[in-house]
Structure 1
């Protein structure tokens, strides 16, 4: 008889993979931002600009 599925472990694995993917994306974004600053490129509009 097979063992029952451990749903909590599966959820932790998915969350861990999701967190690693997010960290990789943020690291790549930060690296691209630093590369842009070193080349002297500055964006004209801020990223967090919102209109009310």
Structure 2
């Protein structure tokens, strides 16, 4: 029976962790470079009903 190569398995896990971390960092940098686009999409949905309700109450 063949022996398990623990060093190889550990190396593969480490490579997967490194790739996942790099992907996450890449997504963060992409998101931080376009925060105004994301804010523009989110703000009108939340701000318009609040603004309209506030103006009609006053």
Could you say which structure has the higher helix fraction? 2
4+ runs deviating over 2 angstroms: none
Q: TM-score, normalised by structure 2?
A: 0.60
- Structure 1 gap segments, 5+ residues each: 42-52
Q: TM-score, normalised by structure 1?
A: 0.66
* Greater radius of gyration (CA): 2
Task: Return the structure number with greater relative CO, CA threshold 8 A, min gap 6.
Answer: 1
CA RMSD of aligned residues (A): 1.6
